[in-house]
Amino acid sequence: MKKNNIFLFLIICFCFIINSSERFFDDSDMFLEIGNLLEIKFIKNGELYLINNNFIIKKIDIELAYLDTEKKNGLKYRSYIKENRGMLFLLKNQEEYKQINMKNVQIPLDIVYIDQFDTVIFVNKYINPMKDIEIINFPSNTNIKYILEVNAGMTNKWGVKEGLTKISWVVKNN
């Protein structure tokens, strides 16, 4: 009886080792599984106000992306964001907006481009997750200063209008 138990134990160990080695050598599956297990939590850095004709149309909580790693990660590895939340990217130069992409982003988004006068100049609506974003070529005199990412459909719901809606935001000290 003990020989049978030992034999069964060895078979189970062998199967486990074979299965583990296959997983070890197949990088893509391993990283997909890690990415699916990783859930980055929302960190409220401040509040952003969307304003039409000097009236606040919506206040949302924002997480700021200022450092390069924060901008690179953006909303990746998040399975959801609440309706009244978004991520505000603070751009250092004009070319940075072209680096925003949806790789590893799991939720559909509206992407709002905001100029140096804090005015919404373009809203890229209902961007599908896990895809490259078509790079928008703005006129050379346009200076993109911020990008705001929110759940898809929220800009319509809140009444965000290109050329009319302005933003104002404050950082909360924690």
User: For tokens 């197949």, what's the residue?
Assistant: 26
Residue 150 belongs to domain with CATH number: 2.60.120.1140
Non-local CB neighbours of 19 within 8 Å, separated by 6+ positions: none
Query: Does one domain contain both 25 and 69?
Result: no
Domain that holds residue 29: 2-37
Query: Does one domain contain both 30 and 102?
Result: no
Mean pLDDT, residues 142-170: 96
Query: Does one domain contain both 133 and 65?
Result: yes
Query: Does one domain contain both 50 and 33?
Result: no
Non-local CB neighbours of 105 within 8 Å, separated by 6+ positions: 74, 75, 76, 78, 129, 130
Query: Does one domain contain both 138 and 81?
Result: yes
Total number of domains in the chain: 2
Q: Which has the higher per-residue pLDDT, 71 or 133?
A: 71
Query: Does one domain contain both 57 and 86?
Result: yes
pTM to 2 decimal places:
0.76
Phi, psi of 111 (to 5 degrees): -115, 120
Mean pLDDT, residues 80-88: 95
